[in-house]
Amino acid sequence: MDVLEGLNEAQREAVLDLDHNILLSAPAGTGKTRILACRTAQILAAKRAEGAQILCLTFTNRACKELQRRILTIVKEKGLDVIVKTIHSFCYSILKEETKHTAAIFSDFLVYDDPDCKTIISTLTASAPVPLYESKKLQKLQNFIEQIKKFRVLNGPCTRNRQEDYASAVHTLLCDSCQVQKLCRNYDGSYDTAMEQWLATNGLTLLCQYDAALSANHAVDFADLITGVCELFHDPEICRRWRERFAYISVDEMQDTSEIEYALISQLFPGRNILLCGDYFQTIYEWRGSYPDLILRRFTESYKPRRITFTVNYRSTQLLLHATAACLVNLFGPPAASVRSVAAASDPGLPIIVHEAAQFMDEARWIFQEILKLPPTDWPHICIMTRTNPQNKQIWNGVRSHNETLPPDRRLPFTMIDQFQLFKRQESKDVIAFLRLLIHKNDTISLTRILKRFSSRIGSRTIMAIESPSYHQLGIRLTDFIDPSAHTFHDPFGLLLHALEQERIVVFDVESTGTDIIHDEIIQIAAIRLNTQGRTAEKFTAYVRPSRNVGTSFYVHHISDEQLARDGKDPRIILPALLDFIKDGVIVGHNVTYDLSILHSELRRLHIPAPAGLPYYDTLDLFRRFYPNLPNHTLSFLSTYFALDDKPSHDALDDILATAALLRYAIRQHIRPQTGQRCAAMAIYLPLFRPVSQEMQQLYRQSYVKRPYEMISAVMNDCRIKEYYEKHADRTDGENHIDRIENIRRLYRVAQETDSPDKDPRDCLNEFIQMTALSNSELDSLLEKKPQIPIITIHQAKGLEFTYVFLAGLQEGTFPLSRSQSGRELEEEKRLFYVAVTRAKKRLYLSWHRQDGSHRRQPSRFIAAIPDSYKEIQP
C-alpha cells in the first residue's frame, strides 16, 4: 500500500519528515489519525526503527484502538510490535515491569477505579463529625488525595519517606488559597468551609490511611499509575533504560495532556524523534491539569520542532466548517483565525437550526419530533449532546415520555451513557469482583462486595470487626478468612509455621530477560530449602539459556548474553529440576508473585506439566502487614532497617538469603509469639466464611484451565449471581428496565471477543481484569454493534463524530456553567462548545429553554458566537 496516496501536501510533509521533531496542529476532521498511522508505516518502510521502537500515545481507548487498526491495515503484521497505548496503560506497563525490583508496589497490583477508591474513602471517613458520605464530598476528598500525590512528584520533595513528603505537600497546598478554593468550591459556586476545616485537621491522616488501605489490597488508583512512574523516573538509570527503548515517539491530543503527564513522558524525549499532535482549541480538561500553552512553550523551547498545520477538513459540510471557524474567532479573537480550514467536501450544507423552548420537556419534545423527521436509516448516526449529566437525565426523561406514545416497533432507540459503561455497572462489578479475587487474593474491596450482596451469614458488623485495628495488629486481613489453609490450621500463618517444622519452606527468586511474564524468559534461578531454624538446608542455583537476548535487563541483573551462552542450561532441563526441588514446598519470596507468574507462564510455553497454584507467602506482604508505616518496604531497606546480616543485590542467591533472613525475623518477632491470640481471633468468625472459601477455591482451580469468558459463566451460574438478579430484577420502568443478566451476558461476550486462546488462561484473565479497570466506556464499539441514539455529555463525545448532532440545554448558567463565568474556566467552556459543534458532519441543531422551575433563563452567549448567516431560527 502506498502510504502517500491521497494525502495533501501538509499531510505528506508530516509523513515524510522523519528527521525533525514536529509540532502538528490538526483541527477536528483534518485526517490526523490517518497521518499518524501513515507516518508509522513510513518509519518502518524506511527502516528507521523496529516496531517496538515506535511509541504512540493517545488520550482515549477509542483513539488507541482506531490507531492500532489503521497501522495494521497499512503494514499488516509488521505493525504488531508498534506500541500504541493510552498514557495510563503505558504507565501500567512500566509499573508492571519495574515492581519486580523496586517493591514500591506489589507485582500483582490491580487498579482500583473511582467507585472502589470512593469506597475506601467512605470507610475511612465513616466516623467523621462532618457528613462526608455524599458523593460530591467524596469526590472532593478524592480530588484532594490526587492533588497531593501529583504535587509531591511534580514539586517535591519526593523522597523514600512518603509520609514526610505528604505532610510537606499538604501544608503547602493548604497555604495556597487558590488551590483550596478549587478543592472546596461547590458545584453551584458556593464555598464549603466545613470541608476546608476538615482537610486542615484530617487531610494528612486520611491520605496516609488511604495509601495504607490501597497497599493492604495490593492496589493502586489512577493517580498512582502516573505518579508511580514519575517517581520511578527520578532514578536516572530506570529513566535511561526506558528512553533507550524508543526511537520515535508520537503524542496525540497533546492539548488534553496534563502537566504531570507531560512532565513524565518528556523525560523520554531527549535524543528521540518526537511528534506532538493536537488542536489547542479543543482543550477541555483544564480541571485535570491540562495547560496546552505551557506544554507548547516547553516543547518548543526544548526541542525546536518544525511546525506543520493541517487545513483541509474531510469531515464537515462547507457551511458547518465556515460556521465553526467564525465561531472560533468570535470566541477567542484574531489568534483563532490561524486554524481556518478548507472543506474537502463539495456539499454546501444545511443551515444550523436554533430552537427556543419554554421548558426542558418542550425542548425534549422538539428534539424528538425533529429526529422523527429524519429517515430511520439515519438514526444510528444521531447524537444528543449536553453540558452535564443532570441535563442528560432531563432530556432522557423527556424524549422517553414521548417515545412511549409510539407503538413498540416504531420507537426510537435512545440510550444513556450509563448503558455504555459496562464495566462500571453494578452487576458487572459483582462478576469482576469474583474474577479479581482469583488473581489478587488480597483484594478486600472485592471480597467485601461479594460478602455484602451474596453471603447471607456475613454482615457489615462482622466485616467491620475484622477490619478493626485489633485484628490488623495481629496481621489479620479480611481475605485471610477465605484462605483454605487458614481453615485447615485456624491461622493464616499456620501453613507457614507447619511447613517450617517439616523443612518444606522454599525461598525462591528468578532473574529474567524482562518483566513481561507472557513473553520474557527466566535466565537465573536460585532456591533454598530451609531447616526448622529457617537456615539453608539445601540449595538450587542455575543459569538458564533463553531464546532471546537479555536486552536492557542486563543493567538490572548484570548477566550478559555471553555468560548465559557459556553457563546457561536448557530450560527444558532446568525447570523440571526446579519443580522436583520444590516438590511439596511452600514458596516464600519478596514480591514473589512475579517470580511465580513467569515460572508458570514459561512452563506452559514449554509444555512442561506444572502444579496449579503453589502455596506461597510474600515477605513484602508480611512486612507491610506488621510495619505499614515504614518509609518503604524494599528488600534492601528492610534488611538495613532491621540490621540483618544478609543483604540483597540483584543476584538471585543473595536476594533469597536476604529474604530468608526477613522471614526469620517476622516469625521470631510477630508470627510465632502471636499465634494464640491470632487463632482465638480467627475462631470467632472463621466458620462463617467456610462456604465462601470453598466456593472461591473451586473457581480458583477452574481458572487454570478455563478461559476468562468461561469463568464469567461459572461465576454467574455457580455463585448465585443469576439467582440474585432474577430475584431482584428491575421491573420499575416498563421496557426501559435494566436487564442486569443481559449485561452480564454482554460482559461474557466482551471477554470472549478479547480472548487470546494461545495464551495461558490466567494470563488472559489478568489482562481482562486490567482492561476492565483501564477502560472508562465502550461507547464507540457498542454503537457499532447495536445502533442507538446516545444522550451524552460533550466530554463523553470527545473523539467521536456524528452525522446529526443535537446540542441541547444552551442556557446561561448551564453552558457556560454558573461557576465558570470568567478567567480560565470560561475559556475552557468556550473550547468545550467548540468541541461540541465540531462533532457534526452534516447538520447541527442548537436548543435551549427559558424556564427552569422558578428561574428565568437566557440563551447561552455561545449561540451568538455563530454568525446569523449560518443559522436558521425554528419556532
How many CB atoms are closer than 10 A to CB 821?
13
SS3 of 197-248: the string is HHHHHHHHHHHHHHHHHHHHCCEECHHHHHHHHHHHCCCHHHHHHHHCCCCE
29 is in an annotated binding site: yes
Asked if residue 660 belongs to a known ligand binding site, the reply is: no
Which residue in the block uniquely carries the three cell numbers 443551515? 351
- 732 labelled as ligand-binding? no
Can you read off the three cell numbers belonging to residue 588? Answer: 516464600
Cell numbers given for 145: 488525595
Q: In the Cβ-directed half-sphere of 269, how many Cα atoms lie within 13 Å?
A: 23
Give dist(CA 864, CA 10) in Å, integer.
33
Whether 343 has a binding-site annotation, put simply, is: no
CA distance 604 to 608: 6
Secondary structure of residue 385 in the 3-state scheme? strand
Residue 840 to residues 432, 609, 817, 837, Cα–Cα distance (Å): 36, 57, 23, 6
Query: Which residue reads 543473595 in cell numbers?
Result: 654
What are 706's three cell numbers? 478455563
- Other C-beta atoms within 10 Å of 218: how many? 24
Which run of H or E residues covers position 31?
Answer: none
* Residue 449 phi, psi (nearest 5): -60, -45
From the CB of residue 239, how many other CB atoms can be counted at a distance below 10 Å?
17
What is 273-299 written as a DSSP string?
EEEEEE-GGG---GGGTB-HHHHHHHH
Q: Are 58 and 252 in contact (CB under 8 A)?
A: yes
Residue 591, SS3 per DSSP? coil
The verdict on whether residue 219 carries a ligand-binding annotation is no
Amino acid at 730: D
Question: Cβ–Cβ contacts within 10 Å for residue 326, how many?
Answer: 18
Residue 755, C-alpha cell as written in the block: 480472548
Distance between start and end Cα atoms, the chain: 52
Name residue 243's amino acid: R
Cell 514458596, located at residue: 587
φ and ψ of 697, to 5 deg: -65, -40
651 burial via Cβ count (<10 Å: 0-12, 13-18, 19+): middle
Ordered strands of the 616-618 beta sheet: 536-543, 522-530, 505-512, 586-589, 616-618
The three-class DSSP label of residue 415 is strand
All cell numbers assigned to 486 = 487458614
Find out whether 31 is annotated in a ligand binding site: yes
Binding residues for ATP, as ranges, are 26-33
Binding residues, as ranges, are 26-33
